[in-house]
Structure 1
Amino acid sequence: MRALRSARLGADFTRLWAASAVSNLGDGITLAAGPLLVASLTGEPLLVAGAAFAQQLPWLLVAPLSGVYVDRLDRRRLIIVVNVLRGLAVAGLAVAIAASAVSIPLIYAVFFLLGVGETLADTAFGALIPATVAADRLTIANSRLATTTVLGNQILSKPLGGWLFASAAALPFAVDAITFLAGAALIAAMRVRPPRGTATGRVREDVRAGLRWLWRHRLLRTLAVTMGVANVAFCAAFAVFALLARERLGLAAAGYGFLLAAFGVGGLVGGFLSARVQRAVPARVLLRGGLVVEVVTHAVLAATTEPLLAGAVLAVFGAHGVNWGIIVATLLQRSVPDGLRGRVGSVYSLVQVGGAAAGSLLGGLVGQVAGVTATFWAASAAMAAITVVSWRPLAAA
């Protein structure tokens, strides 16, 4: 029965879905293998963390600009070209590793290029979805995409990336290159020809148009600011989560892995059930309830010393996070005019990634000064404040 429902979403969406699944698996493999590669060259924690930051940095630097070009160009062709170029870049890294010619600057450069490509491809991908399915099927489509993203990017790819790297250091990056090319081939097989966006003026004016549209839409503005603050709180807390697991919960590396697995499994269940839940429960209730879940999650993790309770709370948090993302993606796709989807989507992503980057830095500082537990209490207090502020505007969902 589920297969029949998926079929009714159409062949173009099926290809888009498959491309997303393949690409997310490859991305997760590289995310797992990248730190291992840098760690094989240096023991400096800052340099190891720098690889991930190099891939996040383009979202802070060029996301709004990427949104402009998503609204200027054929989105389908843009994804194809970007995926091919990313595949070539990561294939070059694999060759350098195999030839023992890899260096940390080269890794940073490749990861930065992957991040630039991500700002273009991911923004174009989100803007392309409404061209493949009817508006009343967007929730189901987004739930399918979210489920495979969690499964591929968070659950399957991490152990696979580590195993491939242990087999041969170049292997995970070669596999990622293949997934980029496979994703490009699947997008090329789509028959849909989406219209180009309306960004045709000066780049600065086009960026401002996206900013203005998002700021004037009260609900989406509230969601953007709310998630920006939520990402500050979440990433601040989870920047020191490994220390909390060891010092408060008494867990070794395997136990820490169990907590991460609980988070991923919760996300998988949340994505699988999201369409059904959203049919039964109003969006405003789910969004408000999600904020309460975030407040409670941080507070429980700060207070408990029971690993099983922590795992259960993280599973609920994972389910909420995926469900929230599906609701927001659907709202953006339904509310934003097609010609503005790239710019508005990229600005929304910039707020989220900016919050995550700020939170990662802030969490280390708070943990250093006040202790690990204080970071989680501060995150809970911040989420309580944003819940109060955003409660009434979320009624419009």
Structure 2
Amino acid sequence: MTTRRAGHPRPIPLGSPYWKLWASSGFSNLADGVFTIVLPLVAIQLTQSPTLIAGLVVAARLPWLVFALTAGALADRLDRRKLMLVANLVRAILLLALVAVMFLGINSIWALYCVAFLVGVSETIYDTSAQSILPQLVQREQLSRANGRLYAVELTANQFAGPPLGGLLMAVGVIAGFAVPAALWLIAVGVLLVVPGRFRIERENKTTLRGDIAEGLRFLWSQKILRTLAVMTGMFNFASSAAFALLVLFAVGPTSQMGLSGAGYGLLLTTSALGAFLGSILADRLEARLGRSRALTLTIVGVAVFVGAPAVTDNPFILGPIFFIGGLLIVLWNVITVSLRQRITPNHLLGRVNSVYRLLAWGTMPIGAAAGGLLAHWLGLQAMFGIMGLLTLGLLALMPLLTDAALDAADTSAPTT
């Protein structure tokens, strides 16, 4: 959906404050992309223990399980822009402190664990506040386009530019690998500082943090559309995490089914990222052309093929285009559902509702990966892919609850923010 002035073919501009947020998000996600690559590359210089290396991922993702709901409550209590500023400033300080420690010759895997966890806590605050602030910067009818443009810069910075830049920085040295993302987070802070406005939601009554979290959970559960989409998003992430946690075993090495090299595997995954980038640009137009219900249905079918295709073929020239389309459709799903959630949810609850979604999305990932490992062990890799594809396809059973009429009714009855 786009907003157009009468007699003008072009949509209303998103505005300078939005584009400043967009630019800040680009620098912040570039720092994320670099840090995600540098952290394990530094860790393997300190230990060769697979358990300790894997534990870094757990440390970085654990805050989404233990702190997401609190982050949502804070986003509804405090100024959302200031929370984003503080979160990025803390991440920069943590990395600069780590640089200082390493400059003094103190190298410890436990220091990396501490930084990974605290950076993860800051990430929950930043991401929750960033999704919640958007309806305060653009009109309701602009949300699909605004979210699509944000996804585009996030994907470009995080998945395309960040990893190779991190690799180049590690060739220079460990200190450069941590100092540059710290500098990028500081630049993001500087850009966000010039976004005008006050982004704190006025509160009429004093409440406890626990009461705030409970209110957000009750609101989500009371909304059939949001409740249905939350369940479906959780199942999407469960199935995709199961499949892609083990895709490397299916694809890489002379004894694997695909027999790809590491570089070939990276190229295969890049097809998905390219599709996601294109999807972020086209999402608002596809939503308008297809209608939301039809687009969501198409996404379920496409992602089921995306997840389940390795069950029936190991040909990279077949899987590559499937991954490309899958990446495009996943972003289409995200843009539609996030924009709808931002329209339906009252502004004073948006932080908490967003955090519940994030909790569900990230919380199902480790569970899905563990389930995928067990199924692959018992039944084999290709059987596991097939089961996850069928599980995703089963989400079509919930689509009668998400007709265009139901989605439009939820939009119409939503409060103006």
Same fold? TM cut 0.5: yes
Measured against aligned partners, the alpha-carbon deviations of 1:41-84 in whole angstroms (never above 9, x if no partner) come to 11122211211221110010011111111111111111111211
Alpha-carbon contact 2:46-2:107 (below 8 Å) kept: no
Q: CA deviation at 1:32?
A: 1.0
Alpha-carbon contact 1:7-1:14 (below 8 Å) kept: no
Secondary structure class of the residue paired with 1:145: helix
Q: Which structure 2 residues correspond to residues 107-122 of structure 1 after superposition, within 5 A?
A: 107-122=112-127
Matches of 2:98 and 2:271 in 1, distance apart?
33
Secondary structure class of the residue paired with 1:170: helix
State the partner residue of 1:133: 138
- Residue in structure 1 matching 2:301, options 292, 300, 314: 292
Measured against aligned partners, the alpha-carbon deviations of 1:317-369 in whole angstroms (never above 9, x if no partner) come to 11011111111111111111000011111011101111112112222222233
State the partner residue of 1:334: 343
- Residue in structure 1 matching 2:101, options 93, 96, 103: 96
- How many aligned positions are there? 393
| 1:255 correspondence with 2:264 | yes
Measured against aligned partners, the alpha-carbon deviations of 1:227-263 in whole angstroms (never above 9, x if no partner) come to 1111111001111111111312121111101111111
- Residue in structure 2 matching 1:210, options 199, 203, 216: 216
Alpha-carbon contact 1:73-1:197 (below 8 Å) kept: no
State the partner residue of 2:249: 243
Measured against aligned partners, the alpha-carbon deviations of 1:2-26 in whole angstroms (never above 9, x if no partner) come to xx97992111101100010110011
Matches of 1:262 and 1:297 in 2, distance apart?
12
Q: Which amino acid aligns with 2:235?
A: V
Q: CA, structure 1 residues 304+200, in 2 after alignment: closer, same or farther (shift >3 Å)? A: farther
Q: Which structure 2 residues correspond to residues 168-317 of structure 1 after superposition, within 5 A?
A: 168-196=173-201, 198=203, 200-246=206-252, 247-317=256-326
Alpha-carbon contact 2:303-2:330 (below 8 Å) kept: no
Identity, % of aligned positions: 35
What's the TM-score, normalizing by structure 2?
A: 0.91
| 1:147 correspondence with 2:152 | yes
Q: CA, structure 1 residues 342+200, in 2 after alignment: closer, same or farther (shift >3 Å)? A: farther
Alpha-carbon contact 1:288-1:394 (below 8 Å) kept: no
Matches of 2:206 and 2:392 in 1, distance apart?
39
| 1:394 correspondence with 2:402 | yes
Measured against aligned partners, the alpha-carbon deviations of 1:263-308 in whole angstroms (never above 9, x if no partner) come to 1111111111112212211011111111111211222221102111
Matches of 2:139 and 2:210 in 1, distance apart?
33
Q: CA deviation at 1:86?
A: 1.2
Q: Which amino acid aligns with 1:266?
A: G
Alpha-carbon contact 2:63-2:124 (below 8 Å) kept: yes
- Residue in structure 1 matching 2:14, options 9, 17, 29: 9
Q: Which runs of 5+ in 1 are unaligned?
A: none
Matches of 1:286 and 1:96 in 2, distance apart?
50
What's the TM-score, normalizing by structure 1?
A: 0.95
CA RMSD of aligned residues (A): 1.7
State the partner residue of 1:385: 394
Q: CA deviation at 1:95?
A: 2.5
Q: Which amino acid aligns with 1:251?
A: L
Alpha-carbon contact 1:86-1:177 (below 8 Å) kept: yes
Q: Which runs of 5+ in 2 are unaligned?
A: 1-8, 408-417
